[in-house]
């Protein structure tokens, strides 16, 4: 499912014009994006948790030449699936 398909579904379910459904979805994901870019954490019970994790600097290798290269420390976005999501995917009884 891509964003445009999600837009169609949300528009139909909420009696919205596609442009408005697009704005709703964009606003939701933009809020998450903004929070992560500021180094924050997003907790959506049932869905999951978005956070930012730090990767330490390490010595890497150029795979083509084998020459060692320094890889700097960096921050990566991280997502942990919530309980409802995990249960629905694994068909646990009682999952929404």
Partner 1 sequence: MQKTLTRADIADALNREMGFSHADSFKMIENVFGEVIAALQRGETVKISKFASFIPHAKKQRMGRNPKTGEAHAIEPRRVVSFRPSQHLRKGLK
CA distance 32 to 4: 19
Q: How far apart are CA 60 and CA 47, in angstroms?
A: 35
Is 18 a binder of partner 1 (CB under 8 A)? Answer: no
State which of positions 20-59 bind partner 1 (CB under 8 A): 20, 23-25, 27-33, 35-48, 52
Query: For residues 30 and 72, what is the distance between their CA atoms, to the nearest angstrom?
Result: 28
Instruction: With beta carbons less than 8 A apart as the criterion, state whether 55 and 63 touch.
Output: no
Interaction residues for partner 1, span 54-83 (CB under 8 A): 74-79, 81
Binding site for partner 1 (CB under 8 A): 1-3, 6, 9-10, 13-14, 20, 23-25, 27-33, 35-48, 52, 74-79, 81, 84-86, 88-90, 96
């Amino acid at each position: 499912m891509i964003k445009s398909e999600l837009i169609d579904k949300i528009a139909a379910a909420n009696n919205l014009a596609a442009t408005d459904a697009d704005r709703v979805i964009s606003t939701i994901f933009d809020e998450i994006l903004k929070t992560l870019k500021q180094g924050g954490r997003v907790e959506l019970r049932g869905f999951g948790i978005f956070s930012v994790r730090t990767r330490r600097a390490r010595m890497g290798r150029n795979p083509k030449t084998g020459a060692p290269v320094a890889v700097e420390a960096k921050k990566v976005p991280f997502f942990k699936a919530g309980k409802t999501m995990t249960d629905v995917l694994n068909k646990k009884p009682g999952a929404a």
